[in-house]
Structure 1
């Protein structure tokens, strides 16, 4: 394990301050690091995601391919967020999504079996599992509601507000796909806002 990995591990484990020394010791043995290059996949459509990923460094894009063969971006996962198709992961069923690295990534991985073992043996682990589930559900609900109740410009402005600096790390194509608007429309919105 490199010095960087150790630094990332300690920062990650600080979230689990309620764990007993025994729980923490077991948890440490279950975590592993993996480095990914841009265009590598954390998982692909049709695969069962075997490991939960926590992004220490880098950026990933979650997308699916629609019936016309077009790639539709449904989310971005950056530092200190979980890379997962959570509903499929929990049920250990094949994902409908692709999770692709847009930048070099360092990800802490925890196997599904180890998560289940933690739930079974330690009550506090269930609490952390619930918190992750709540966070994922909130992100998904916010996205659906943004399409129902916001204009394209509002979706863009909220994305910029909620994700400072992220628009500089992703292409206009990926961002417009995520926001559900044509690339040209996004360019118009951006130039209109720049003139204000």
Structure 2
């Protein structure tokens, strides 16, 4: 049993519920879809640099996927937006896997969101879906990621929790960016 996964899920349960509520029906219209993309862009930017510090494990770089940021920006440009960089402070390397837990976990939900976005595209032909199609792809990333999480011990476990909480906050702030733009 992956106890860190359960710890992360428990520690972020309220944030996860709040984010789900903020996105409920969010892909029913273009504005909601843009909010989702902006929230994901904030998270991807947070994770844009794979960890290189001594306390981070070199195997973690396998979770870095530069295509996510490229595809997000491509979709946003196709929607007529040129989002500014969020200017987030660098994430301590020891928190990176916890923050990445939020991104990797969101790929599971992305499969449901992709179906909603495909329905939206029926009403809005040409709606760009490159990011969601890439993010929702079926592969073995999630179980492999959980295996890697389970290897964290000591301070890295605590830092993973801090990283996950921070990442949920970053996504929530990114969703709000559309409302304040």
| Structure with the higher fraction of residues in strand conformation | 1
Q: Under a length normalisation based on structure 1, what TM-score does the superposition of the two structures give?
A: 0.31
Using structure 2 for the length normalisation, give the TM-score.
0.33
> Which structure's residues are more often helix, by fraction?
2
